[in-house]
Structure 1
Amino acid sequence: MEKLAERLQKIRRDFHQNYAERSTQEFKTCKRIQEILKDYPAANVFPIGKTGVMAVFEGKGRGKTIMLRADTDALPIQETNDFAHKSIDPNVSHKCGHDGHTTILIGVAEMLQENPIEKGKIVLLWQPAEENGMGARAVLEDDKFAEIKPDQVFALHNLPGFPLHKIVYKKGAFTANVKSLIFDFNGKTAHAAEPEHGFNPAFAMAEILEKCKKMTHNEPKDENFFLITPVYADLGTKDYGISAGKASLHLTIRSWSPELFDQLTDELIREAEKICQRENLKLEISWTQEFFSNQNDEKAVEIIQNSAEELELNHQKINEPFKWGEDFGLFTQLIPGAMFGIGSGENCPALHNPDYDFPDEITLTASKLFYKILENAV
């Protein structure tokens, strides 16, 4: 296993340095994964979801089809680290650990090659475009996925702030529903000295933002957790003699419950429409970057827990979901499964920080746990 750990570290750092690509642009990454998988002839390897990769291992006997998923995309963040494997692209870097997740699944592929599962079918998915919420849907809509029909699906995410190697899990919601709402306001420009001759969106925006503040319940321990975060606003131009006639407001909204999410966002939209009608504004509404909540199946979580115990790993059941969105949630909405976490260090920089780097120490631990999950699931 020591040689495998060294090999995986080399692979992970190569991905970090040379294969940091933004969502939907993972062309080099896709090609590189397929090149590496040539070392494992037991797998049927093919592209999926435009820039994703899938490897299928067939057991000799009948059994369940179990899918493991890793994500592959990077972020438009300038890296501040100065180590030897720093990203060669100054504008894109792996600041969420997807280089590590990708490598973990390569470790599983090697284990399956060396010690095949006796029955069932194992599907390894390297999914693109997790960061913008487009990758899972692209995979699901690919005709090749319809032939797979997984019985269960599993994924992980590294977790800064938790001790190295610690396994974190919970039943039910593991991550939040997250979706971004865009309000575009169209009024009428006027002279700044005579704003009464136009329709300025500024006060409508202010009123809607006040409504957002009142609706927000940022208490993760509560089932009715609901958080609206203003992320971008644009109003008029820097021409001080002109009363603005156009504006845009972008909000990111998250909750544990899909039903509560729909109920409260509908309420917000109705209120915004009422305000805009009163202010003589035309309101255009659009949505972007949709992430469904990871809804962890009870039996899948039991498999994760039992597998961690068999490997004598430190593990913890948590009470509250994580507030961030994760594209794997779309899979768990449709297929029984679960996402779990693995600690990447109590002093590890936070995800999406410019000084973050995936800790190589946990790669082999995660690969072993995934393999044990497969043994217990099929």
Structure 2
Amino acid sequence: MRQDIGSTAAQDGARGLSNRDIVELTEFRRALHRRPELSGEERETARAVVAALGPTAPDALLTDLGGHGVAAVYAGGAPGPTVLIRAELDALPIEEVGTLPYRSETPGKGHLCGHDGHATILVGLARLLGRRRPARGRAVLLFQPAEETGEGAAAVLEDPAFGQIAPDWAFALHNMPGLALGRVSLAEGPANCASVGLRIALSGRTAHASMPEDGVSPAAALARLIPVLTALGPGGALVPGFRLATITHARLGAPAFGVAPGAGELWLTLRALLDDDLQDLLTRAKEIAREEARADGLEIAFSEHDLFLACRNDAEAVVRLRAALGAEGIAHDAENLPMRASEDFGRFGAVARSAMFLLGAGRDRPALHNPDYDFPDELIALGTQIFHRTLRDLLG
């Protein structure tokens, strides 16, 4: 069941978004959608957020946090905990398709994960906090950069300015197509898998294609590695011990018929439910690759990319979210949890009691990262409502 937030606002403007708010926030979301920026490039998106936050008069506003991150602080009149609510700024390197009047105006880039909607929800929350501050403690709204690469949360946490907003609690959401529109999925414990991208570079020696024996080709080693590495992570049930290895790219030599190859690359994504299992999977993959390279007289080099730690929901943080959902009459269960997908929010669990929930975007909607995905505007008010109730329960 989803409440009409507009009607709630009519009864108590300080506690709910007005119809005008919802119209303006929808326009803001669509403006972000038109101008997507990739991880680490979110300069203009951050500026738009700062401009939208201005009328809410935050007590402190941090910019350039961990890159292009923005944090707005709304302080209460009495001592209390610091509660952080996080959204993301970045888009994806995917060409958007479709006929939306507000579709991406930047070739090869699109808000196809819904971060434009998440950021808009926090702008809506800022409007409510600007009208009525918490009674105690502090509410911090964090607009995080570079979530899609797994680099943003670490950069924010390592930024010296983060000490000014160090939270006791941290909450986030992610919209989720496949779940009924407006339904919430929430559970304590593992929520998202840990993952890392591993690039394996093999180097030998080229030769004339008529005399391949004069060179050292990585072809055979690549052919052996693909099934062996895939077998390290067969997938299966999402329980402790789950591991998945996915080949994402392979390259061998140059596109020429006269040259036997002397170099090759293999890219794979390694995934596990637990951080320790991911590290073990990574170690084993490297050991196997070294053995295959040694057997064929090849040099080998590794690089790691897009590291995501496992996201685990703190039990007490989940209790707080469930209480807010119950008070607002919003249906919730644990459908689709834990998830194979990774989420940069997991790092905040090291500094605060943290939890993330999924907010249903509709069962028949295109999947996240599909070229025709679009965040449902109906979720702006609902996401704002859930976070606002959580803040009120914790901070008054």
TM-score normalised to structure 1 length: 0.97
Residue 192 of structure 1 pairs with residue 217 of structure 2: no
Deviation digits for residues 98-149 of structure 1 (CA, Å, limit 9, x no counterpart): 1100000001111111122100111110011111111111211211102222
Counterpart in the other structure of 1:132: 149
| Aligned 8 A contact 2:196 2:304 in 1 | yes
| Aligned 8 A contact 1:308 1:315 in 2 | yes
Could you say what secondary structure the match of 1:299 adopts?
Answer: helix
Q: 1:50 aligns with which of 60, 67, 75?
A: 67
Q: How does 1:70-81 map to 2 (within 5 A)?
A: 70-81=87-98
* Aligned Cα root-mean-square deviation (Å): 1.3
Q: How does 1:290-305 map to 2 (within 5 A)?
A: 290-305=307-322
Residue 233 of structure 1 pairs with residue 250 of structure 2: yes
Residue 106 of structure 1 pairs with residue 88 of structure 2: no
Residue 4 of structure 1 pairs with residue 21 of structure 2: yes
Residues of 1 paired with 2:310 and 2:223: CA distance? 30
Q: Which runs of 4+ in 1 moved over 4 A?
A: none
Could you say what secondary structure the match of 1:213 adopts?
Answer: helix
The one-letter amino acid of 1:364's match is A
Q: How does 1:1-378 map to 2 (within 5 A)?
A: 1-17=18-34, 19-47=35-63, 48-318=65-335, 320-378=337-395
Displacement of 1:319 in angstroms is 6.7
Displacement of 1:274 in angstroms is 1.3
Displacement of 1:264 in angstroms is 2.0
**Cα distance change on mapping 1:345 and 1:353 into 2, 3 Å:** same
Displacement of 1:268 in angstroms is 1.6
Residues of 1 paired with 2:299 and 2:88: CA distance? 40
| Aligned 8 A contact 1:217 1:224 in 2 | no
Deviation digits for residues 245-267 of structure 1 (CA, Å, limit 9, x no counterpart): 10111101111011111112211
**Cα distance change on mapping 1:369 and 1:181 into 2, 3 Å:** same
| Aligned 8 A contact 2:324 2:386 in 1 | yes
Displacement of 1:237 in angstroms is 1.2
- Unpaired runs of 5+ residues, structure 1, are none
| Aligned 8 A contact 2:60 2:72 in 1 | yes
Could you say what secondary structure the match of 2:192 adopts?
Answer: coil
| Aligned 8 A contact 1:169 1:340 in 2 | yes
Deviation digits for residues 264-315 of structure 1 (CA, Å, limit 9, x no counterpart): 2211211111111111001001100111111110000111111111100011
Could you say what secondary structure the match of 2:344 adopts?
Answer: coil
Identity of aligned residues (%): 35
Residues of 2 paired with 1:42 and 1:148: CA distance? 13
The one-letter amino acid of 1:221's match is L
TM-score normalised to structure 2 length: 0.92
Residues of 1 paired with 2:233 and 2:156: CA distance? 33
- Unpaired runs of 5+ residues, structure 2, are 1-17
| Aligned 8 A contact 1:198 1:245 in 2 | yes
Could you say what secondary structure the match of 2:205 adopts?
Answer: coil
Displacement of 1:44 in angstroms is 1.6
Could you say what secondary structure the match of 1:267 adopts?
Answer: helix
Residues of 1 paired with 2:348 and 2:196: CA distance? 16
Residues of 2 paired with 1:335 and 1:209: CA distance? 40
Could you say what secondary structure the match of 1:174 adopts?
Answer: strand
Displacement of 1:83 in angstroms is 2.1
Residues of 1 paired with 2:98 and 2:372: CA distance? 5
The one-letter amino acid of 2:25's match is L
